[in-house]
Amino acid sequence: MNELAGVGHESAPFSARPYFSFLVTVICSIVVATYVGLPVGPLLRDASPLGQLDYPEESLQRLVTRELDLDEALRQNRGLEWRIYRILSGGESPIREAKGWYDELGDTIDSSAIELRRAILLGESGDTNRLEERIGRWKEDGDPAERMSDWLRAAYLGVPPARDTGRALIAEVRDAVEPNWFSDTLSRRIADRIGDARARSVAESHILARGRVLQQRQRLLWALVAVLLLGALAAIVRILTAPSSARVADAPLPPDWSTGDGYALFVRALGAPQAMVLVMFYLLRRQMPLDSALIIVADLPVFWWIARYLKAHGSSMRAAFGLVPRRDGWSRLIGVTLFLIGIALVLDATIDTAGTLIGLKAHWADGFSEDLLWQPRLAFVLNVFNATVWAPIIEEVTFRGLLYGTLRTRLPMPSSALLSAVIFALPHGYAAAGSVSVLVSGVLWAVAYERTRSVLPGLLAHSANNILSTLWVVALLRF
């Protein structure tokens, strides 16, 4: 029972003599306060997440065109797969949702391409009065607005054009507009109104071909999620039918270091890399294509500080954070990790659904991973490594190993888990739904650290969570 209740590890306390420079601790504390508090300002002002994006127009086009291609493929049968997809995506019409996104973007960026897409979405939603009004405001804009007006009138308004005129307009659309859902939908509507079955079939086949590729990728992702959920279910059954100690390793909780030393280590681990990254970007005067490599390099001193401190006090990172399972702990590590992954998947889906029901659905740009879409290959690979491997290691050591452990020197487990999770969630800068999801994950991983006396279950679950998010973006949006 003492193992599961989090009773302190019985060992000689670390020396109380000052170990860390007071000045460095103060500087790192200021950096941490800024880093943790900076994202809160936009949230309190209810600022649009669009300001966080470097390529909002391109990113939204990629998101909307892929989603509408996929929806078109799924709607062919309207079976169970389509219904599950609509439930998981919030149940709202994807055309109506995309129209709202483009209205917001169009009010921020002046672009003829955005105006065309907004108009097509109006036509597809059947709002011809607003479409007529919008086209009317383009009269004095000249070309290409005049050409776009001709396309839209032929597709949605007034008397259909003659067949030859309609075919010429379809050819114009093909030449002038990037081939995607918008151009194919506009061509399909014109072809339908002039009675050109062949042109309509060609446009539809393009949409369905892209949509079916995305559908196959989504099925593979859903299969992976199903396997993880089954693994979590098996872990739960085993825990219930054969209860035993949850320990994976023997990290001391509360830890052996003092509250002051733990605080000094935490602010260095979180603040120093942020300061170094800011200095490097300032000196370089711009974002680097390989900025993930700079971030990884900046994180390296964290391990030096922690390992040096622990060695000076007769310990090690392996012992302090339970980085190597006990001989009988490997199966528990696997079981607890699968349990954490499954619980996180269920809770994320529940949070998303509840947020949609009460009107707090996440904004499309909230946490949108532009780097995974637009970076060149080498930078992309480094970014994936940083997101799926490096960041979970650094964050678990920092927020669970150091922050949670230090809080446990003064507070009970529930308070420490919640407070550390709040501090973990704030720098992510997400809106309500995303912040709640990160907060819940932080609590789960802290409790897992307490129960198993190892950061490994939370670290592996954290990595799995990031891998799934990355796979979803890469499979459905990048390629």
- In this prediction, residue 9 carries a pLDDT of 43
Q: Which residue has the higher pLDDT, 202 or 88?
A: 202
Q: Which residues of 193-209 are buried (b: 16+ CB within 10 A; e: fewer)?
A: bbebeebbebbbebbbe
Structure-block tokens of residue 244: 């035993």
Q: Tell me: the pLDDT tens digits for 176-233?
A: 999 999 999 999 999 999 999 999 999 999 999 999 999 999 999 999 999 999 999 9
**Residues contacting residue 100 through CB under 8 Å, at least 6 positions apart:** none
Round to whole Å and give the CA distance between 52 and 18.
41
pLDDT at 281: 67
Query: What is the overall mean pLDDT for the chain?
Result: 88
Q: State the amino acid at position 406 in one-letter form.
A: T
Determine the pLDDT at residue 357: 72
Written as one letter, the residue type at 111 is S
Q: What is the CA radius of gyration of the chain?
A: 27
Report the predicted TM-score, pTM, of the whole model to 2 decimal places. 0.89
Give me the mean pLDDT over the 276-286 stretch.
Answer: 69
List the Cα angle 370/372/376 in 5-degree steps: 105
Calpha distance 388→75 (Å, rounded): 33
Written as six digits, the tokens of 394 are 């650094």
DSSP 385-431: HIIIIIHHHHHIIIIIIIIIHHHTTTS-HHHHHHHHHHHHHGGG---
Q: Is the pLDDT of residue 274 over 90?
A: no
269 vs 45, more confident: 269
Predicted pLDDT at 79: 77
pLDDT of residue 428: 83
pLDDT reading at 356 higher than 90: no
At 304, which helix (H) or strand (E)?
A: helix 291-312
**pLDDT (0 to 100) of residue 91:** 66
Q: Give residue 435's pLDDT.
A: 85
Per-residue pLDDT tens over the stretch 301-312: 889 999 999 999
Q: Six-digit token pair at 469? A: 């998010």
Q: Are 476 and 32 in contact (CB under 8 A)?
A: no
Whether residue 297 is predicted with pLDDT greater than 70 in this model: the reply is: yes
C-alpha to C-alpha distance for 143 and 148, rounded to whole angstroms = 8
pLDDT of residue 12: 45
344 vs 152, 202, 349, CA distance in Å?
45, 43, 9
**Residue 7: predicted pLDDT:** 39
| Cβ within 8 Å of residue 426, ≥6 positions away | 36, 37, 39, 40, 435
Asked if the model's pLDDT at residue 255 lies above 70, the reply is: yes
Region 15-41: mean pLDDT is: 81
Segment 260-271, tens digit of pLDDT? 999 999 999 999
Give the integer Cα–Cα distance in Å for 16 and 29: 21
Identify which of 477, 403, 410, 399 has the alpha carbon closest to the alpha carbon of residue 438.
399
42: its two tokens: 């936009």
Mean pLDDT, residues 386-413: 96
- What is the DSSP track for 179-236? TTHHHHHHHHHHHHHHT-HHHHHHHHHHHHHHHHHHHHHHHHHHHHHHHHHHHHHHHH
What is the predicted pLDDT for the residue at 140?
67
Section 445-469 average pLDDT: 96
The pLDDT > 90 percentage for the chain reads 65
- Domain borders along the chain are 2-38+244-478, 56-215
Q: How far apart are CA 136 and CA 127, in angstroms?
A: 14
pLDDT at 5: 38
Q: 284: pLDDT confidence band, cut at 50, 70 and 90?
A: low
In this prediction, residue 451 has a pLDDT band, given cuts at 50, 70 and 90, of very high
Instruction: Grade residue 3 by pLDDT with cuts at 50, 70 and 90.
Output: very low
Identify the top-confidence range among 365-374, 376-385, 417-426.
417-426
Give tens-digit pLDDT for 120-160: 999 999 999 999 988 888 866 667 788 899 999 999 999 99
pLDDT in tens, 235-244: 999 888 877 7
330-353 average pLDDT score: 92
pLDDT > 70? residue 88: yes
